[in-house]
Chain A
Amino acid sequence: MKALASLAVLPLLSRLSAANEASSGLTEVASGVYVHQGRHALAGAENGGDIANITFIIGAEAVAVVDTGGSARIGAAARQALKAITDKPIRYVINTHMHPDHVFGNAAFADDKPDYIAHHKMARGLSARAERYLAVNKAAIGDAAFEGTKIVLPTRAISTTTEIDLGGRTLELKPRATAHTDNDLTILDKTTGTLILGDLLFSGHVPTLDGSIRGWLKLIAELLQEKAERVIPGHGPASMAWPDALTPLERYLRTIADDVRTMIKGGKTLAEASKTAAQSEKNSWALFDEYHVRNVTAAFAELEWE
């Protein structure tokens, strides 16, 4: 609860409604689009790994899930909440990228026999990290809460823009170039203009960089060309205004890139950069102390090769 308590000082979080904080509550952010909001915290016993957003899109014939939470139990709770709303079959489980808080609930949907869909590089990225992801998250969440969690790899790999039909409702899936990770996939519900960005968009929760800072900044410029009514971040509110939602993220990444480039040019070391780069962002984000130095380290190791 330590991480959660520290959030009380952040103005953004005071906007959270009580409804959104209900552990398996779903918020309808657009007609037929429901979001379960994860908490701004590290995966731990107090949250069971419930730290990332989960989205359901309900068509006339089928349901698609986008991201499944950080454990089989979190995935099952979200599935149960969905079943109270609709009994239409869940035909698609889509992962926005490989990170455990977005894919570890996949197993909870096995009985639905869905297509598991992800970026074509996702299986490779997740496989390379699988053992460590499992070990670290099991230790963090606890054996009981982690029970039933296993790696469920995609059965369908997306390498070009692909449309999926839910019955009178089309989803447009776009695999993106390396940014947050090297396997980011975005999903646009064309019916309501709802764009699901996964961890290409963080709000409130400090962004985490596990791909390419240059790639992410470049992709932001491309994303701004997308026409959408609203956007759903991987970490943050259930729904946000588009494209304003991207502004703080872009500022954060640009500040790191600018500071790190200046330090590299001035002959500074990685150790020096990790202490000072983009510290001006400290008060703008939850979990800054947990992730920021890691982001700077990744940015430095990338930008020193420019």
Chain B
Amino acid sequence: MTRSRNVSALLAGILVATCLLPLSSLKAEGDNWLSIRKEFFADRPILDQDARVIVEAPEKAEDSAVVPVSIYISSSVADKVTAMHVFIDNNPMPLVGHFKFGSAAGDGGRTFSTRVRFDTFSYIRAVIETSDGRLLMGSKFVKAAGGCSAPAFKDFADAMAHTGEMHLKRMEKQQFASQKRSAIVMREAQVMLRHPNYSGMQMNEATGTYIPARYVRELDVTRAGELIFHLDAGISLSTNPHIRFTYGSAGEEELAATAKDSDGEVFSASVPADGS
């Protein structure tokens, strides 16, 4: 997480310029990934294009500031997965997020969906880590550009009036049986927060200067007090961060989410236990 500490200063200066490079000058792939890989995983082997991790995203994104992405972790490996790194190689801050999974993450196949910003054409990758130390990776190349510097809001006044609202919701219908323990099923829920998630690359509409980065840096989601996941995030989550996730469930347990942004402001939401 050393990257995120001084990113505001960096973004305000040098990196901003990269957002405006013509597409023809982009490095399509390769270079950035090699350095990211070295920084985060040193010389550890990574199983690339592993079928147990699938990253789904559009080949060409229509709105580079709101690119839907889903990551599927196969049930054949899910019960051993302890963590997941998500990267967008060519974003100024490549680490989209680092998930640490807790005891409530569930044994069955896991799915995570969110929306991200693409600064330039790039791979988006998910690298999962298992309890026995293996690294498995899935990736997808996405053609999209300009998402990091696109204005956070279409309607500035309306957005300001609602900032800080947080919703957590159990999804009704989809339930996936766990292969391991029949009493636990995989449920799906989503957490969404009204927050500009400023990347540091957007213009202040009033002054014509760059808005300092201010983004959701941490998110914890729990089921009846047990951790589903802890997320350390960067600037790549879209405005109004939205994460849909699976978890192990034996009933309608309480769910709670707490987010903290890079200015230290805390947001929270919960869904009470129901029945059972």
* Closest chain A CB from B140 CB (angstroms): 12
Among B62, B68, B146, B194, the residue within 8 A (CB) of A294 is B62
Q: Are A267 and B171 in contact (CB under 8 A)?
A: yes
Q: Collect the chain B residues with CB atoms within 8 Å of residue A279's CB.
A: none
Among B23, B149, B162, B174, the residue within 8 A (CB) of A267 is B174
Which stretch of A74-82, A123-131, A193-201, A230-238 is in the interface?
A: A123-131
Q: Are A182 and B62 in contact (CB under 8 A)?
A: no
Q: Are A182 and B155 in contact (CB under 8 A)?
A: yes
- Interface centre among A267, A274, A293, by most chain B C-beta atoms within 10 angstroms, is A267
Q: Are A132 and B63 in contact (CB under 8 A)?
A: no
Is B56 part of the contact surface with A, judged by Cβ < 8 Å? yes
Q: Which 5 A-B pairs have the closest CB atoms?
A: A124-B205, A294-B62, A271-B68, A293-B62, A128-B205
With A131-B203, A178-B155, A182-B155 known, 9 other A-B pairs at CB within 8 A are A128-B202, A129-B203, A131-B20, A139-B22, A266-B173, A270-B66, A271-B56, A271-B113, A297-B62
Q: Mark B140-174, 1 if CB is under 8 A from A, else 0.
A: 00000010011100111110001001000001111
Q: Collect the chain A residues with CB atoms within 8 Å of residue B165's CB.
A: 305
Is B178 part of the contact surface with A, judged by Cβ < 8 Å? no
Which stretch of A7-15, A59-67, A207-215 is in the interface?
A: A207-215
Q: Are B70 and A178 in contact (CB under 8 A)?
A: no
Q: Are A305 and B162 in contact (CB under 8 A)?
A: yes
Among A132, A135, A211, A215, the residue within 8 A (CB) of B22 is A135
A200 vs B256: C-alpha distance when bound (angstroms): 42
Count, A-B residue pairs, CB within 8 A: 90
Q: Collect the chain A residues with CB atoms within 8 Å of residue B23's CB.
A: 139
* Closest chain A CB from B1 CB (angstroms): 28
Q: Mark A131-146, 1 if CB is under 8 A from B, else 0.
A: 1100110010000000
A121 vs B156: C-alpha distance when bound (angstroms): 10
Q: Collect the chain B residues with CB atoms within 8 Å of residue A135's CB.
A: 20, 22
- Interface centre among B63, B150, B154, B165, by most chain A C-beta atoms within 10 angstroms, is B154
Q: A125-B205, A304-B192 are in contact. Are A269 and B70 (CB under 8 A)?
A: yes
Q: Mark A211-241, 1 if CB is under 8 A from B, else 0.
A: 1100100000000000000000000000000
Q: Are A298 and B156 in contact (CB under 8 A)?
A: no
A136 vs B21: C-alpha distance when bound (angstroms): 10
Is A301 part of the contact surface with B, judged by Cβ < 8 Å? yes
Number of interface residues of A (CB under 8 A): 33
Is A181 part of the contact surface with B, judged by Cβ < 8 Å? yes
Among A124, A129, A132, A269, the residue within 8 A (CB) of B68 is A269
Q: A135-B22, A269-B244, A274-B62 are in contact. Are A212 and B154 (CB under 8 A)?
A: yes
Q: Are A270 and B154 in contact (CB under 8 A)?
A: no
Can you give 30 contacting A-B residue pairs, CB < 8 Å? A121-B156, A125-B205, A127-B203, A128-B203, A128-B204, A128-B205, A129-B150, A131-B20, A131-B149, A132-B146, A135-B22, A178-B155, A211-B155, A215-B155, A267-B173, A269-B68, A269-B113, A269-B244, A271-B68, A271-B113, A274-B68, A297-B63, A297-B68, A298-B154, A301-B115, A304-B242, A305-B165, A305-B192, A305-B194, A305-B240
Is B272 part of the contact surface with A, judged by Cβ < 8 Å? no
- Interface centre among B70, B151, B158, by most chain A C-beta atoms within 10 angstroms, is B158
Q: Mark A101-134, 1 if CB is under 8 A from B, else 0.
A: 0000000000000000000010011011111100
A132 vs B148: C-alpha distance when bound (angstroms): 11
Is B208 part of the contact surface with A, judged by Cβ < 8 Å? yes
